[in-house]
Amino acid sequence: MAEAAMKAPMAEAERELTDGFHLIIDALKLNGVKTIYGVPGIPITDFGRMAQASGIRVLSFRHEQNAGYAASIAGFLTKQPGICLTVSAPGFLNGLTALAHATTNCFPMILMSGSSEREIVDLQQGDYEEMDQLAIAKPLCKAAFRVLHAADIGTGLARAIRAALSGRPGGVYLDLPAKLFGQVMDAEAGKKSLVKVIDPAPAQIPAPDAVKRALDVLKSAKKPLIILGKGAAYAQADADIKALVEKTGIPFLPMSMGKGLLPDTHPQCAGAARSTVLAQSDVVMLIGARLNWLLSHGKGKSWGEPHSKKFIQIDIEPKEMDSNVEIAAPLVGDIGSCVSALLHGLGGHWTAPPADWVKAVASKRDENVAKMAPRLMNNNNPMDYHGALGVLRTIVKERPDAILVNEGANALDLTRGIIDMYQPRKRLDVGTWGVMGVGMGYAIAAAIETGKPVLAIEGDSAFGFSGMEIETICRYNLPVCVVIFNNDGIYRGTDVNTSNADPATTVFVKGARYDKMIEAFGGVGVNATTPDELKRAVNAAMDSGKPTLVNAVLDPAAGSESGRIGNLNPQSALKKK
């Protein structure tokens, strides 16, 4: 009895405690988070150290925007939310562009940011890095949460994960005030408060009558077309999508990041006959692709108007239907479930589309491919885009599992058109906004998440937005080869300003040697002036896996204004008069 009485206060004193730092780490690990992309500083420096010590990979970037883009594409590649970690106010704002980008592109991502003292921020008393971050993040993401008590960390992270992954994926903001990290609570109670998120992206099965309607519309087609968007790539329903395309025999058109779901060299691929199939098809089935600007909103001359066509749209977001034109057969559900239901509904007796349509598409495609072929073999000096891309196209063909990151204007549009992709989720680019700056963040996350070699084809301007991250690539010794299409500027390097001594707004330092930059960090730099030199350098880099930057010197006059989308530049009505 006396002994028992002595023991009680001892046990109380030895009671194990935990804190906010550890609870966040435990909650992340419980939910399978393996990597954090971020930039350290108050109030998250120690958190990053502890997360690293606990076995989570914590990658430090040179700018939060690039860490954010890395997290966003990690989300696309893995179907798990990519995690970005930033400091308060300025760090948070730097990460916000990427969070908005993730939301716009339907990539799951969580931006976790430290923030300052709530009491001081809310009274606007001038705290260190004072900002009402939650309010600012809200309109730019799918959901935004703040955790004030250590006991709520488990729930906060669970809500963030569910919001990012369920339904249409997107960006989520999680606000972590500085005080939260140091809050202490009973370890046992803390452990119990954590939440493992079960089935965060539940299957959304399409209604049987919606499946039947879609199949009926598809059957009625004389000139059917399937469009595969990045939602289809994200869904990871690769085998069923391939089976649907092949069983129906319908020509398919991949959107930029849908390339490779089926190889671009597939007999049914209509990639090189894009204008023809958009204008002439009578029934179009969209799988994970929106009828936004990238598809001319589903109307107008490029869609062959005044002839009308019928759309079938597979999407997890019901509100997407009719966003631009009437959808004759909306099929709402997750792509895996929808495609599998369609396959099931096809049964054994599907009639292939009329042979004259299939043949017309194939011959237009072959004609365009043949027209392009000699240009890709040119050895022009200085190089042009086609000569450079001709050799890079072969390098990708020989390494179909390598990942291609791509941004720029001409550097983007011509690469997308010329380089064939062979496997799903191998092409990562500027996405729905056509944003510059994703390059190095994407390349880093692609290497980290997949372990595959990465080839980043970058316009010289595009590269500049994230160029400092070549230090990060060297620091983590990642198998990334950056090729800069250096045409001395934005679109081209030939503009001249005639009004004063300043250079024109679109031109950069002539003859810049970007290859020297990576040498500062111990990487391999190569200056390539011919397709042959380019080929040798990139092959060596892809084989060795050494961080490499190739400055590919292009003819400054080779590009055109805004690449393929010059028509989007506003024109003055006045000027036309």
State which residue, 411 or 542, has the beta carbon closest to ligand TPW.
Answer: 411
User: Which listed range, 283-291, 463-471, 519-527, 544-552, lies at the site for ligand ADP (CB under 6 A)?
Assistant: 283-291
Give min distance, CB of 459 to Mg ion, in A: 4
State which residue, 18 or 461, has the beta carbon closest to ligand TPW.
Answer: 461
Locate tokens 């196209």: which residue?
393
For ligand ADP (CB under 6 A), the number of binding residues is: 24
Q: Which does 255 bind (CB under 5 to 8 A by kind): Mg ion, ligand TPW, ligand ADP, none?
A: ligand ADP
For ligand TPW (CB under 6 A), the number of binding residues is: 18
* Residue 251 contacts residue 266 (beta carbons within 8 Å): no
Enter the tokens of residue 519: 């040498």
Give min distance, CB of 491 to Mg ion, in A: 7
Q: How many CB atoms lie within 10 A of CB 152?
A: 16
The alpha carbon dihedral of 306, 250, 341, 209 has a sign of positive
Q: How many residues are given for the chain?
A: 577
Q: Contact between 255 and ligand ADP (CB under 6 A)?
A: yes
State which residue, 172 or 316, has the beta carbon closest to ligand ADP.
Answer: 316
The span from the CA of 81 to the CA of 37, in Å, is 12
The span from the CA of 71 to the CA of 95, in Å, is 10
State which residue, 428 or 483, has the beta carbon closest to ligand ADP.
Answer: 428
User: Which listed range, 70-78, 176-184, 231-239, 261-269, lies at the site for ligand ADP (CB under 6 A)?
Assistant: 231-239
Q: Which residues of 456-494 are buried (b: 16+ CB within 10 A; e: fewer)?
A: bbbbbbbbbbbbebbbbbbbeebbbbbbbbbbbbbbbbb
Side chain identity at residue 363, one-letter code: S
The span from the CA of 441 to the CA of 467, in Å, is 10
List the 109-115 sheet strands across, edge first: 57-60, 35-38, 82-86, 109-115, 171-177, 143-146
State which residue, 283 or 457, has the beta carbon closest to ligand TPW.
Answer: 457
Nearest residue to ligand ADP, by Cβ distance, number only: 231
Binding ligand ADP by CB under 6 A: which of 258, 437, 523, 559?
258
Q: Which does 409 bind (CB under 5 to 8 A by kind): ligand ADP, Mg ion, ligand TPW, none?
A: ligand TPW
Give min distance, CB of 454 to ligand TPW, in A: 18
State which residue, 137 or 517, has the beta carbon closest to Mg ion.
Answer: 517
State which residue, 80 or 487, has the beta carbon closest to Mg ion.
Answer: 487
The span from the CA of 401 to the CA of 450, in Å, is 10
The span from the CA of 314 to the CA of 549, in Å, is 40
Q: Contact between 487 and ligand TPW (CB under 6 A)?
A: yes
Q: Which residues pair with 143 in a beta bridge?
A: 172
Nearest to 487 by CA among 507, 465, 517, 466: 507
* Residue 64 contacts residue 84 (beta carbons within 8 Å): yes
Q: Contact between 181 and ligand TPW (CB under 6 A)?
A: no
Binding ligand TPW by CB under 6 A: which of 311, 422, 491, 514?
491
* Residues at the contact surface with Mg ion, assessed by CB under 5 A: 459-460, 487
The span from the CA of 221 to the CA of 217, in Å, is 7
Exposure of 388 by Cβ count < 10 A (0-12 exposed, 13-18 middle, 19+ buried)? buried
State which residue, 170 or 464, has the beta carbon closest to ligand ADP.
Answer: 170
Give min distance, CB of 503 to Mg ion, in A: 14
Nearest residue to ligand TPW, by Cβ distance, number only: 459
* Residue 73 contacts residue 233 (beta carbons within 8 Å): no
Residue 437 region, left (φ>0) first, then alpha (ψ -120 to 50), else beta?
Answer: left
The span from the CA of 316 to the CA of 288, in Å, is 8
Give, as ranges, the residues between 315 and 344 that touch ligand ADP (CB under 6 A).
315-317, 320, 334-335
Q: Contact between 410 and ligand TPW (CB under 6 A)?
A: yes
The span from the CA of 456 to the CA of 454, in Å, is 6
Give min distance, CB of 414 to ligand ADP, in A: 19
The alpha carbon dihedral of 95, 96, 97, 98 has a sign of positive
Q: Contact between 92 and ligand TPW (CB under 6 A)?
A: no
Give, as ranges, the residues between 255 and 274 that touch ligand TPW (CB under 6 A).
none
> 198: Cβ–Cβ under 8 A, 6 or more apart, which residues?
none
* Residue 30 contacts residue 194 (beta carbons within 8 Å): yes
Q: Contact between 60 and ligand ADP (CB under 6 A)?
A: no
Binding ligand TPW by CB under 6 A: which of 38, 304, 437, 441?
437
Q: Strand 171-177 relative to strand 454-459: parallel, antiparallel, unpaired?
A: unpaired
The span from the CA of 422 to the CA of 429, in Å, is 16
Give, as ranges, the residues between 420 and 439 that touch ligand ADP (CB under 6 A).
432
Q: Which does 258 bind (CB under 5 to 8 A by kind): ligand ADP, Mg ion, ligand TPW, none?
A: ligand ADP
Give min distance, CB of 179 to ligand ADP, in A: 37
Give, as ranges, the residues between 168 and 197 that touch ligand ADP (CB under 6 A).
168-169
User: Which listed range, 144-152, 293-301, 366-374, 434-442, lies at the site for ligand TPW (CB under 6 A)?
Assistant: 434-442
State which residue, 231 or 559, has the beta carbon closest to ligand TPW.
Answer: 559
Exposure of 326 by Cβ count < 10 A (0-12 exposed, 13-18 middle, 19+ buried)? exposed
Give, as ranges, the residues between 70 and 109 that touch ligand ADP (CB under 6 A).
105-106
Give, as ranges, the residues between 102 and 121 that touch ligand ADP (CB under 6 A).
105-106
Q: Contact between 257 and ligand ADP (CB under 6 A)?
A: yes
Binding ligand TPW by CB under 6 A: which of 232, 428, 436, 457?
436
Binding ligand ADP by CB under 6 A: which of 50, 294, 321, 369?
294
Give, as ranges, the residues between 528 and 557 that touch ligand TPW (CB under 6 A).
none
Q: Contact between 408 and ligand TPW (CB under 6 A)?
A: yes
Q: Given the rule CB under 6 A, which residues bind ligand ADP?
A: 105-106, 168-169, 229-231, 234-235, 255, 257-258, 288-290, 292, 294, 315-317, 320, 334-335, 432
Q: Given the rule CB under 6 A, which residues bind ligand TPW?
A: 408-411, 434-437, 459-462, 485, 487, 490-491, 559, 563
